[in-house]
Amino acid sequence: MSRKYDLHTHSTASDGTLTPPELIALAAAKGVDVLALTDHDTLAGLAAARMAADAAGLILSPGVEISVTWGGRTIHIIGLGIDPRNQALCAGLAGLSAYRRRRAEAIGQRLAKEGIEGAFEGARAFSNGRLIGRTHFARFLVQRGYASDEREVFKHYLVKGKPGHVAGDWASLEAAVGWIRGAGGQAVIAHPGRYHFTRAKLLRLIGEFRVLGGVGIEVVSGSHTRDECLLFARYAQENRLLASVGSDFHGPGNPWTELGGMAPLPSFCTPIWADWEEQRLPRAVFE
């Protein structure tokens, strides 16, 4: 039987709009069999997701999406099948959460210089006291009428060269892959199409990532076009990386990513879940 996998999703533990149980319920309704919850730099949603998934009969892979500074840019590395109790991983993510708080204060100060008052407090209210990110600023600025939607806010306020931009100072690639591997997980390069790297730079990333023990790359992603899916499928094949599939779902009403709604992997790819039945998922589920 072929299962439906969605291995990149967000909840209210980071910048998603559904709580972990709401996300699990929607995934089950959409026919997803195996879901990874991969919130940005936090494992805070995993316990509630686990309970809801067990009740719904859905297979949950505990995950995370780690913010990394590499080659002068921010990239994202997904960890799948991690042990949420692993201390080094938890300590590393706690450091990133603390940095997020400092960065959010700096973003607030920069926006204040542009005459936008109260953005830090507003973003924090949207984050509900949990992990804070640029998406929470985007929601606040839309609410205040500075832009019509979150995409517009990013374009005009939150990216490089714009008033609310603060350059990221995230984990090193070595640290992120090390935390994931140390917690028993598989490290995956998230949405490579989003970085607009040259071929040479992407190959350099893949080379360093593999040396560190990274094993996968997202081939099918909510932020990839069909052509990009095929392109990254070839990168996976040529560089002996396992292929992952994830919507990068952040909530309903987002026009470009639907939970569990992705195209299948090209048949020449080796899926990241190829060995999961023996190693990473509860045995009983497969018997």
Binding site for ligand AMP (CB under 6 A): 15, 40, 67, 133-135, 150-151, 154, 250
In 3D space, the residue among 78, 64, 199 whose CA is nearest the CA of residue 207 turns out to be 199
> Residue-wise over 124-146: b if at least 16 C-beta within 10 A, else e?
bebbeebbbbbbbbbbbbbeeeb
Give yes or no for a contact between 199 and 205, defined as CB atoms under 8 angstroms apart. no
Find the shortest distance in angstroms from Cβ 65 to ligand AMP. Answer: 8
Q: Tell me whether residue 134 or residue 224 sits nearer to ligand AMP (CB atom).
A: 134
In 3D space, the residue among 32, 34, 48, 131 whose CA is nearest the CA of residue 81 turns out to be 34
Find the shortest distance in angstroms from Cβ 7 to ligand AMP. Answer: 15
Beta strands in 19-177 (DSSP E): 34-37, 59-70, 73-80
Q: Binding residues for Mn ion, per CB under 5 A?
A: 15, 65, 76, 190, 248
- Which residue of the chain is nearest ligand AMP when measured via CB? 133
In 3D space, the residue among 227, 116, 213, 103 whose CA is nearest the CA of residue 166 turns out to be 103
Q: Tell me whether residue 135 or residue 186 sits nearer to ligand AMP (CB atom).
A: 135
Helices 134-143 + 87-113 axis angle, to 10:
40
Q: Tell me whether residue 130 or residue 134 sits nearer to ligand AMP (CB atom).
A: 134
- Which residue of the chain is nearest Mn ion when measured via CB? 76
Q: Tell me whether residue 149 or residue 277 sits nearer to ligand AMP (CB atom).
A: 149
Q: Tell me whether residue 101 or residue 280 sits nearer to ligand AMP (CB atom).
A: 101
Find the shortest distance in angstroms from Cβ 125 to ligand AMP. Answer: 16
Find the shortest distance in angstroms from Cβ 84 to ligand AMP. Answer: 20
Partner from Mn ion, ligand AMP, none contacting 150, C-beta within 5 to 8 A by type: ligand AMP
Find the shortest distance in angstroms from Cβ 250 to ligand AMP. Answer: 5
Q: 175: which 2 tokens?
A: 């640290």
Contacts of 264 (CB under 8 A, 6+ apart): 220
Longest dimension (CA), the chain: 61
